[in-house]
Amino acid sequence: MESFTRMSDTSDSSDKTDDRSIVSANRRTFMGAVGAITGASALGGSALANDDGSETELSGGDSRSGDAHNAIVVIPDGAGQAHISGARYLKAWREDPEEFPLNITPDGTSLNVDRAEQIGGMSTQPDDPDQLITDSAAAGTAMATGTKIYSGAISGIGTEENFTPVRTILEAAHDAGMATGLVTTTEITHATPAKFASHVPDRGMGEEIARQYVENATVDVLLGGGKHHFDPEEREDGEDLIACAQEQGYQYVETDDELDSVDSRKVLGLFGSETDRSTHMSYYVDREYVGDTDEPDLVDMTEMAIETLSKCDNGFFLMIESGRVDHQGHAHDNAITHEQLECDEVFGTVLDYVEDPSTPETFAMQVADHETGGMSLGADAYDMDWEAIDNIRASLEYLDDAMDDYQGTDEVAELIEKRTGLELSYGELMDATGGQLTDVLNARTQMGWSSDSHTAEEVPAYAHGPNAEFFGRYFDNTEVSVGIADVLGLEFEPGQEIDYEYQE
Ligand SMILES: [Zn+2]
């Protein structure tokens, strides 16, 4: 693991340009926040307080007095406890297949989440008396703004017809002069990153979310997929948001090599497979083993984001999402364990930075927004085939696409063996070519799934650094931003309405 010492040494105040002086015409007009950090509902109250001038205090500069200089949140989208265990068992199998499963002990196989000082659990339900199970937008809005909303909304309150934006923890950090970053393997406009730095009544408004990112410029480092929402040839309004971002001072990159060359304090990186830059980044197994890609790994993106953001003397807030865990949960793809293990390496990279004695005090946590798939380790037998899971060399999505191009069962058998190591029986081949490949593979590995969508379970949380004990318990998803604001010493009030323009 590379030391982060060099990164902290790069903090050179002589080239400290004030990137935050760039303010767009659409920037919301509110400034600051009133009151202490409390869980009390104050919807609308802060706006009134701001209007009459009482108690209003402009935030900004380095006036905050929290216990941490920086905060980093890692979100494996859709990861419940089985996902964490799955990553651990995959690692245990790799490290010692002879000893497996007897090496699944704290001494035998450790994950990076085990390094966290505090372990807790988080609630996930949305603000809806008739709905127990959340979507990513409502879940993330609760985490980013401290207030709950209906499923599908991005960082606001009310209804789809009467939507009022509320301030996010990232915006509070930005207003306090901190650097901010959003890193993901999904489209950068996808629900989880979007809720930290945009406000729309419907998560499907990707083009508007991209416009808000670029025009508001509240996020210094934006790395993920989904170039199409920035591309003038693909946007409905024909706006060139990439050129617009460059005018705002962003360095634009779209390959792993270009990411390595980043030397700016503001970066927009939009990555994808060489054949398709218009959607999410590739799954880990496709990036790693299929090979026609120039995308960076999530660990590389994390390191570059930390290196870039740590140049800010006022500290930084960074959210990193392993976003495609959720997609593999929806698809019932056993490669989800590879994706989750990559996320664990990301959290390890974060903890290496946190524990480096030369870096400033940094709070770090990993917590999902909800569980997806009802994933379980075991289906109908008392054992699982971890050799088969370890041997996966492509996503189910890749296999399904590839099968369309193959003729006859022999070619399909060859494809499956090459990408999974499994020799399918004639009956299995018939099922696989008949659209049942997912069931065939899960029957082999004995991984179980109870749902095609999200589930209601509470999700595991891991916290490290100053005030980590705040999360070492069962907590509500609205408490994530409250706890981070507290540790950073930010002025932040959950559910604070803001005057913010968005285009329908
Ligand atoms: Zn989600």
pLDDT digits 0-9 by tens, 476-492? 999 999 999 999 999 99
Residue 493, in any domain of the structure: no
468 Cα–ligand 1 center, Å: 23
Q: Give residue 62's pLDDT.
A: 52
55 Cα–ligand 1 center, Å: 37
Answer whether 496's CB lies under 8 Å from 26's CB.
Answer: no
Q: Are residues 234 and 117 in the same domain?
A: yes
Q: Are residues 240 and 283 in the same domain?
A: yes
140 Cα–ligand 1 center, Å: 7
Residue 498, in any domain of the structure: no
370 Cα–ligand 1 center, Å: 6
* pLDDT at residue 282 greater than cutoff 90: yes
Q: Are residues 170 and 302 in the same domain?
A: yes
For the stretch 340-356, pLDDT in tens is 999 999 999 999 999 99
369 Cα–ligand 1 center, Å: 5
Using only C-alpha atoms, what is the Rg of the chain?
22
Residue 504, in any domain of the structure: no
What's the rounded Cα separation, in Å, for the pair 174 and 61? Answer: 10
Q: Are residues 163 and 305 in the same domain?
A: yes
429 Cα–ligand 1 center, Å: 33
Share of the chain above pLDDT 90, in %: 75
For 71, phi then psi, to 5°, come to: -140, 140
Check which CATH number belongs to the domain holding 141 and give it: 3.40.720.10
What's the rounded Cα separation, in Å, for the pair 356 and 4? Answer: 7
Vertex 432 angle, CA 426 and 435, to 5°: 145
455 Cα–ligand 1 center, Å: 10
465 Cα–ligand 1 center, Å: 25
Q: Are residues 348 and 424 in the same domain?
A: no
Q: Among 14-18, 29-33, 167-171, where is mean pLDDT lowest? A: 29-33
Domain that holds residue 438: 385-446
Residues 6+ apart with CB under 8 A from 184: 190, 192, 193, 223, 224, 225, 320, 321, 323
Residue 346, in any domain of the structure: yes
194 Cα–ligand 1 center, Å: 12
Instruction: Decide which of 91 and 14 is more confident.
Output: 91
Q: Are residues 437 and 464 in the same domain?
A: no
Instruction: Please count the residues of the chain.
Output: 504
Q: Are residues 394 and 259 in the same domain?
A: no
190 Cα–ligand 1 center, Å: 10
Residue 369, in any domain of the structure: yes
Answer whether 384's CB lies under 8 Å from 446's CB.
Answer: yes
Residue 118, in any domain of the structure: yes
Q: Are residues 87 and 140 in the same domain?
A: yes
Q: Among 18-22, 366-370, 492-496, where is mean pLDDT lowest? A: 18-22
334 Cα–ligand 1 center, Å: 18
Instruction: Identify residue 500 by its one-letter amino acid code.
Output: Y
Average per-residue pLDDT in the chain?
A: 87
Q: Are residues 147 and 190 in the same domain?
A: yes
101 Cα–ligand 1 center, Å: 30
Q: Are residues 350 and 398 in the same domain?
A: no
The domain tally of the chain equals 2
Q: Among 116-120, 297-301, 466-470, 497-501, where is mean pLDDT lowest? A: 497-501
Q: Are residues 402 and 267 in the same domain?
A: no
What's the rounded Cα separation, in Å, for the pair 83 and 343? Answer: 11
Q: Are residues 267 and 194 in the same domain?
A: yes
